[in-house]
Amino acid sequence: MSTPTDAELVTDLLERVAGALGLTATVRVETVGEQLIGTLDGEDLGLFIGRHGQTIDAVQHLAQRIVHARTGELRRIVVDAEGYRGRRQEALERQAEQAATDAVRDGKPVALDAMTASERRLVHEYLRERGGVETHSEGEEPDRHLVVSPTSA
């Protein structure tokens, strides 16, 4: 019996979780650069996504742990359903843009709501490219959040 590939491991996990939740979904797993992207397509996948993305984030974490246990390597794995990751990224960028605008206008730091590490990284990168502000994280998980400050001129 051959050893399953990373993609096969992730496919199996996503199919099992969707099935356990009673969802009908098509699972696709593809390699894009160094990362593995698992996507679920179907209707009513809100249960898989969970409140504020908690379920999909947990499944993504499990996928990373499973692959890491097999290979010993930390490989980036992204799990998405119904385009949730793209919608979430757009919402975070809008929130970050508003915070940056407020910070520059008022000349004082603006704290954002608590976010996951991957969401904080996304906002850090977005605002670094935007310029005019700097960011740092504060607090402890699960309440760790980003603070957006105007750069000193």
Determine the topology of domain 6-82 in CATH.
GMP Synthetase; Chain A, domain 3 (3.30.300)
Helices (H), the chain: 6-20, 46-49, 54-71, 84-106, 117-130
Residue 144: per-residue pLDDT = 93
Residue 24: per-residue pLDDT = 94
Residue 82: per-residue pLDDT = 93
Residue 100: per-residue pLDDT = 97
Q: Give the architecture (CATH level 2) of 87-150.
A: 2-Layer Sandwich (3.30)
Q: Is the dihedral of CA 44, 45, 49, 50 positive or negative?
A: positive
How many Å apart are CA 49 and CA 56, to the nearest integer? 5
Evaluate whether 117 touches 147 at the Cβ level (below 8 Å): no
Residue 45: per-residue pLDDT = 95
Domain boundaries, the chain: 6-82, 87-150
pLDDT tens-digit readout, 1-40: 688 899 999 999 999 999 999 999 999 999 999 899 999 9
Spell out, as residue ranges, where the chain has pLDDT lower than 50.
153
